[in-house]
């Protein structure tokens, strides 16, 4: 288990899955064989699987411990959730909570759950199935959600005649938290406490947010899905196919990369392969990742 230190804070990655999932051209329209040749030396094996010609993505949470609090950042896909068009994340049965306990937190010890956005692979463990009902997994936690995302998915999910948005994710993983009175909805830039500031980074979803951490002069940024792959650090205009606003996603990506490069923040994204966290350097024509 790798423990990242940021001032007095510690951060541990809690793995749900880490595997080859998408063909590179499915993920990025701009991907070419020439780009594969140019980057192959660092892409494989952590970020690209040569045997299957697929991009490797991790799905994980970050367990942040600071100021006596245990904070879970992003909540993966969760077990027993039907995701028929994502076979590699469908009806999972993974000892995620055992891994979380091994990293230092039982469910009842989690003080805060913070979701960068409300897509299915970031809210799954918010709830678990008990006696046929989805109930909060972390009974003593407050859950921090972006209000623009809650508003957006609530609107999408309201019509029972259409298929539920995000595979029913909002109904299963967000609404039970809101209805239990455990959700804190945030809008705009928001200082959560002495160490954490919430900053909007819309585009991948309407209310996507980034969590900036500062402790003892050291910085970190939990950037969620502002980028899905390190190739997007080299090519910040490359978008993941699924965005609520492609133009805004590009603007947010550049702003986050600039912030991380200028502050020297440890960057902790949602899906990047091993070593899972690293740094962004400013380069002549943009940015370069320094992960491992």
For the bound state, the minimum distance from the C-beta of residue 239 to Zn ion, rounded and expressed in Å, comes to 13
Assess contact for 211 and 198: CB atoms under 8 A. yes
Within 233-272, the residues that bind Zn ion by CB under 5 A are 270
Q: How far apart are CA 47 and CA 275, in angstroms?
A: 10
Quote the distance between the C-alpha of residue 115 and its chain's center.
Answer: 7
* Residue 118 vs 196, nearer CB to Zn ion: 118
Which is closer to Zn ion, CB of 176 or CB of 269? 269
User: Dihedrals φ, ψ of 289, to 5°?
Assistant: -80, 145
Which residue blocks in the chain are alpha helix, DSSP H? 24-27, 33-43, 96-102, 120-123, 147-156, 169, 175-179, 231-234, 246-263
In the complex, the smallest distance separating the C-beta of residue 119 from Zn ion, rounded to whole angstroms, is 5
Least distance from C-beta 204 to Zn ion, angstroms?
8
Among 114, 225, 232, 253, binds Zn ion (CB under 5 A): 225
Size, binding site for Zn ion by CB under 5 A: 3
Of 120 and 259, the one with the shorter C-beta distance to Zn ion is: 120
* CA dist list (Å): 33 to 29, 53, 229, 231: 12, 11, 17, 14
Q: Choose the stretch contacting Zn ion; rule: CB under 5 A; options: 80-88, 136-144, 220-228, 278-286.
A: 220-228
> Are 27 and 241 spatial neighbours (Cβ–Cβ below 8 Å)?
yes
Helix (H, G, I), strand (E, B) or coil at 213: strand
Q: Indicate whether 149 belongs to the interface with Zn ion (CB under 5 A).
A: no
74 sits near Zn ion (criterion: CB under 5 A): no
Q: Which of residues 90-129 bind Zn ion (CB under 5 A)?
A: 121
Distance of closest approach, residue 180 Cβ to Zn ion, in angstroms: 24
What angle (nearest 5°) sits at the alpha carbon of residue 141, between those of residues 136 and 142?
A: 100
Specify the residue, 215 or 224, whose C-beta has the smaller distance to Zn ion: 224
Instruction: Give 270 or 289: the residue with its C-beta nearer to Zn ion.
Output: 270
What is the C-alpha radius of gyration for the chain, rounded to an integer number of angstroms?
Answer: 18
Q: How far is the CB of 285 from Zn ion (least distance, A)?
A: 28
CB atoms within 10 A of CB 177: 25
Q: C-beta of 210: minimal distance to Zn ion in Å?
A: 14
Measured from the CB atom, the residue of 203 and 270 that comes closer to Zn ion is: 270
Query: Using CB under 5 A as the criterion, which residues of the chain lie in contact with Zn ion when the complex forms?
Result: 121, 225, 270
């Amino acid at each position: 288990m790798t423990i990242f230190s940021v001032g007095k804070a510690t951060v541990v990655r809690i793995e749900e899955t880490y595997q080859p999932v998408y063909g590179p051209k499915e993920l990025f329209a701009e991907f070419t064989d020439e780009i594969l040749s140019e980057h192959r030396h660092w892409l494989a094996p952590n970020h690209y699987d040569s045997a299957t010609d697929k991009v490797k993505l991790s799905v994980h949470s970050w367990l942040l411990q600071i100021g006596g609090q245990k904070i879970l950042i992003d909540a993966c896909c969760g077990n027993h959730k039907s995701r028929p068009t994502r076979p590699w994340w469908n009806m999972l049965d993974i000892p995620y909570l055992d891994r979380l306990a091994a990293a230092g937190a039982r469910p009842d010890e989690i003080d805060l759950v913070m979701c960068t956005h409300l897509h299915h692979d970031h809210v799954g463990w918010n709830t678990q199935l008990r006696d046929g009902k989805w109930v909060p997994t972390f009974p003593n936690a407050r859950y921090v959600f972006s209000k623009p995302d809650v508003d957006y998915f609530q609107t999408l999910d309201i019509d029972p005649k259409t298929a539920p948005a995000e595979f029913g994710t909002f109904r299963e993983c967000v609404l039970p938290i809101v209805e239990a009175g455990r959700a804190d909805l945030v809008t705009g830039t928001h200082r959560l406490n002495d160490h954490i500031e919430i900053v909007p980074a819309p585009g991948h979803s309407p209310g996507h947010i980034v969590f900036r951490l500062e402790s003892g002069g050291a910085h970190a940024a939990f950037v969620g899905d502002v980028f899905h792959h390190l190739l997007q650090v080299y090519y910040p205009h490359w978008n993941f196919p699924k965005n609520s606003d492609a133009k805004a996603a590009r603007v947010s990506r550049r702003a986050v990369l600039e912030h991380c490069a200028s502050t020297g923040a440890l960057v902790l994204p949602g899906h990047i392969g091993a070593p899972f966290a690293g740094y962004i350097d400013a380069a002549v024509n943009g940015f370069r990742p320094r992960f491992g």
